[in-house]
Amino acid sequence: MAEALWNYKIKCPFCGTQFETTRMRNSAIRVKEQETDFSNIFEGECPYLYAVTVCPTCTFAAKNTDFEKIRVQAEAKIMAASKQLRASTRPKPDIFGLGPSTPEIAVKRYELVIAFYKMRYVVELGVLANMYLQLVWLYRLMKNKEKEQLALAQAAAAYENYLAKAYNLPESLGEPGIIYLIGDMYRRMEKYKEACRFFEQALASKEIKDYPKIADMIRDMMMMTKEKVQKTAEA
């Protein structure tokens, strides 16, 4: 096994199974560059492949940072699903192996995470939206353009819902960053007019002065997108 990876012993909070899961050391992460939707391109192993934990017995799945912190007593739907999955004779997905992972395996794990987050007593809209966005990044790693486009549509809808309902937007992005991100997703879906609408909304945000780097990104992307709109009109 590569030095970047290590096996962590953990216990499922819902079925009590003790198992090992492979994780990536933070010290081994090497970012080469960042894309316009904040996805990183890495040198060597990609940490996105090791960011979630899945129980091999009941398939409960969550982000690594959440797996052991979940309040089991508050999650009746997940407990019921855990019991049902333990009793099921249907074959479980082949995603529990240790060692180096692949984007294909990671996608299956993320799909389980999304399913379980939707069962949560309190659905954290920001976490859910980010899970959809990371699916986009995984399909991009796979060079699967069709599925990336489908995931983009899901992620954009999830972030719009998050923006409309959440009061605790991430401090690193604020309102302008979230709106910009939605606009960039529409740009990647080649829906240029919708993208421009979100970019303009981001620049009009009352918080934009607090995020000068994001403001520069928005202006650059708006210029690029308006050129696309013009070329499309001329075609």
pTM greater than 0.95: no
For residue 19, give the nearest of 54, 50, 67, 51 by alpha carbon.
54
Range of weakest confidence among 50-54, 101-105, 121-125, 205-209? 121-125
Number of C-beta neighbours around residue 96 at 10 A: 17
Q: What is the full DSSP assignment across 183-225? A: HHHHHHTT-HHHHHHHHHHHHT-TTGGG-HHHHHHHHHHHHHH
Q: Residue 127, Cα to own-chain centre: how many angstroms?
A: 8
pLDDT confidence band for 1 (50 / 70 / 90) = very low
Output the average pLDDT for the chain: 93
Residues 67-120 have pLDDT tens digits of 999 999 999 999 999 999 888 878 778 899 999 999 999 999 999 999 999 999
Residues 185-230 have pLDDT tens digits of 999 999 999 999 999 999 999 999 999 999 999 999 999 998 887 7
Show the tokens assigned to 115.
Answer: 């399913």
